[in-house]
Structure 1
Amino acid sequence: MNDFYDQLTPFYHLIFEDWNGSVERQSAQLKTLIKKHWPETKSILDVSCGIGTQAIGLAQKGYNVTASDLSEKEAERAKQEAERRNLTLAVSVCDMRQAFDHHGTGFDLVISADNSVPHLLNDNDILIAFKQMFACLKPGGGCLITVRDYDKEERGRNLLKPYGVRVEGNKRFILFQVWDFEGDQYSLAFHLIEENLSTGKAITHTLHSRYYAISTNRLCELMTQAGFRDVQRINDAFYQPVLLGTI
């Protein structure tokens, strides 16, 4: 999985039509949720920060954010993006299944956004990750996860998922994914066509990964098993369903 994200790093922002706008919008939405459910939150641990989409925005909102990601290259880009914005953001490389071992405890909130948890391909690994997140929190702290609603996704093979067209300078990028399900998992091929508008020449980048199409109900059950209380799903507050739990 880290190979997938290492390769995706220079293109990651292209997933969003306006990445900088998404950083601002998502952090505002997350702040609203945080203020409602854990209003005293000051310190946040992002255990799957990617290039910093949520971590940077939350740091801009005044939170003390610590961030990590399994991908060394994404963690490095998140650090660079934060520095460009004159932000202090502690970023390191860590598997979310080792979050407590790496970061220790005392955080007010742990987050994992952008459907990162389903990269763990079985219930046991997800439960390990949730237990590690639980251990990172101080009493009364919370956990906030955002994931795809796989109950609404078509199952099958050769499923096309278009992401659109992006233009940067003299380059045009066409992005799409193809999914192939095998039981409750699917393989993903992410195709990025990079076209030079000056020469007409194009390069295709194809990246491969795999996901566990786990339901939000099952994720809530696993959060409860890990020790979280008042586990709930929130709809229409973010671009993905949000799962919350408190210790």
Structure 2
Amino acid sequence: MAGKTITSDLYQDEYEPSFVDKWDELIDWEGRAKGEGDFYPRILRDAGCTRVLDAATGTGYHAVQLAKAGFDVLAADGAAEMVSKTAENAARLGVDLPVQEADWRTLADDVPGEFDALLCLGNAFTHLFTEDERVRALEQFHKVLRPGGLVIIDQRNYDSILDEGFNTKHQYYYTGKGVDARPEEISDEAVRFRYQFPDGGVHHLTMYPLRQDYLTGLLADAGFRNIRRFGDFKEAYQHHEPDFVVQVGTA
């Protein structure tokens, strides 16, 4: 990464077809469901949300689960390969799920109508590498939400990675058996993750290491209020302890 200019569109190249085909193996839908429990449906129902935009759908895990739970879901992603895989997974599972390609930076022009909630999960927001793009994306998130709607963003605990080094329990997110996911390069500007699969295949993703307080500040600046944080799905947590942090704000 040293000396290289990293753009926010890099993920579109890194999510090559052979990697996308293995993404569900990395996640392990059954393991993910066990780890998360009813966390997202409960938050959405408690806020009276029915129409949900999964803005970083990946291969469709959360969109499918929420649709099965009775929510009206639109699945979107900026990577065409992920959009195709989501549509394939939904069809295979018999779930009626609209899917489309959408860029967060122009989201209000890309998706129809207003939503009660917007999810940006899977550490996806860290694909944005400039503050201007992060600000623009959050403004767009706010724009597509009805007043009082929820934004929900998760991220790896980069505070822990940057301050204490990488250590993960793999209890909640990347639970695939025999899959190793860990950073290969770490700096304040970028973290490059290496994903190795049981068949020996290796793939990489490059992320911007968002700190928790920084994202909370961006959310507040974009007009979100009542911002809550959860560490590995628990509201009470030590700052460096969880693998992942979820932030929930109200438009």
Fold match by TM threshold 0.5: yes
Distance in 2, matches of 1:27 and 1:135, equals: 30
2:198 aligned with 1:188:
no
2:230 aligned with 1:234:
yes
**How much has 1:207 moved relative to structure 2?**
2.2
Q: CA RMSD in A?
A: 2.5
Alignment of 1:38-49 (within 5 A): 38=47, 40-49=48-57
Given that 2:185 and 2:191 are in contact with CA atoms closer than 8 Å, whether structure 1 keeps it comes out as yes
Taking a change above 3 Å as real, the CA distance of residues 66 and 187 of structure 1, as seen in their structure-2 partners, is same
Alignment of 1:1-247 (within 5 A): 1-7=11-17, 8-16=19-27, 18-23=28-33, 26=36, 28-36=38-46, 38=47, 40-154=48-162, 166=177, 174-194=179-199, 204-237=200-233, 240-247=244-251
**How much has 1:108 moved relative to structure 2?**
0.4
Given that 2:191 and 2:206 are in contact with CA atoms closer than 8 Å, whether structure 1 keeps it comes out as yes
Given that 2:181 and 2:193 are in contact with CA atoms closer than 8 Å, whether structure 1 keeps it comes out as no
Residue matched to 2:4: none
Distance in 2, matches of 1:86 and 1:44, equals: 19
Paired residues, number: 228
Distance in 1, matches of 2:35 and 2:192, equals: 30
**How much has 1:190 moved relative to structure 2?**
2.6
Distance in 2, matches of 1:234 and 1:212, equals: 20
In the alignment, structure 2 segments of 5+ residues that lack a partner are: 1-10, 235-242
Taking a change above 3 Å as real, the CA distance of residues 65 and 25 of structure 1, as seen in their structure-2 partners, is farther
Given that 2:216 and 2:227 are in contact with CA atoms closer than 8 Å, whether structure 1 keeps it comes out as yes
Given that 2:114 and 2:146 are in contact with CA atoms closer than 8 Å, whether structure 1 keeps it comes out as yes
Given that 1:130 and 1:226 are in contact with CA atoms closer than 8 Å, whether structure 2 keeps it comes out as yes
Distance in 2, matches of 1:164 and 1:32, equals: 22
Distance in 2, matches of 1:134 and 1:211, equals: 23
Given that 1:23 and 1:53 are in contact with CA atoms closer than 8 Å, whether structure 2 keeps it comes out as no
Taking a change above 3 Å as real, the CA distance of residues 226 and 154 of structure 1, as seen in their structure-2 partners, is closer
Q: Which has the higher strand share?
A: 1
Larger Rg: 1
What TM-score, normalized by structure 2, do the two folds share?
Answer: 0.81
**How much has 1:129 moved relative to structure 2?**
1.0
Distance in 1, matches of 2:97 and 2:34, equals: 16
Matched residue type, 1:6: E
Residue matched to 1:199: none
User: Which one scores higher on RCO, CA 8 angstroms, separation ≥ 6?
Assistant: 2
What secondary structure, in the 3-state scheme, does the structure 2 residue paired with 1:241 have?
A: strand
Given that 1:23 and 1:54 are in contact with CA atoms closer than 8 Å, whether structure 2 keeps it comes out as no
Given that 2:32 and 2:175 are in contact with CA atoms closer than 8 Å, whether structure 1 keeps it comes out as no
What secondary structure, in the 3-state scheme, does the structure 1 residue paired with 2:49 have?
A: coil
What secondary structure, in the 3-state scheme, does the structure 1 residue paired with 2:248 have?
A: strand
Greater than 6 Å deviation, 4+ residue runs: 159-165
1:8-37 Cα offsets, whole Å, 9 max, x none, are 211001213x3234247547220112223x
Taking a change above 3 Å as real, the CA distance of residues 127 and 133 of structure 1, as seen in their structure-2 partners, is same
Distance in 1, matches of 2:68 and 2:90, equals: 9
In the alignment, structure 1 segments of 5+ residues that lack a partner are: 167-172, 195-203
